[in-house]
């Protein structure tokens, strides 16, 4: 089972940031994905967890 497109889009829209970011490596990036932004949203985190639990094909990649 694949991740529903709408869920993936919501996570992307919540976590994808643009700007100038200095990464831990010292490199600068104009994009950053901040997973903590969706982890701080209980409803969205629940949907991600439920999608993950129902996606048996992901079990070998996570």
Q: What ranges do the domains of the chain cover?
A: 5-54
List CB contacts of 58: < 8 A, sequence separation 6 or more: 52
Which two tokens mark 22?
């200095």
Statement: residue 24 has pLDDT above 90: yes
- pTM tops 0.85: no
- Asked if pLDDT for residue 50 goes beyond 80, the answer is yes
Question: Residue 52 is encoded by which pair of tokens?
Answer: 């993950």
pLDDT at 39 over 70: yes
Q: Is the pLDDT of residue 41 over 60?
A: yes
Q: Torsions phi, psi of 32, nearest 5?
A: -150, 140
pLDDT at position 57: 54
Instruction: Over range 31-46, report the average pLDDT.
Output: 91
Q: Can you give the pLDDT at residue 60?
A: 54
């Amino acid at each position: 089972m694949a991740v529903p497109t709408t869920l993936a889009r919501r996570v992307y829209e919540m976590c994808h940031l643009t700007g100038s970011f200095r990464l831990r490596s010292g490199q600068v990036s104009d994009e950053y994905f901040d997973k903590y932004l969706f982890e701080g949203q209980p409803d969205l985190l629940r949907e991600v967890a439920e999608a993950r639990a129902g996606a048996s094909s992901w079990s070998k990649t996570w």
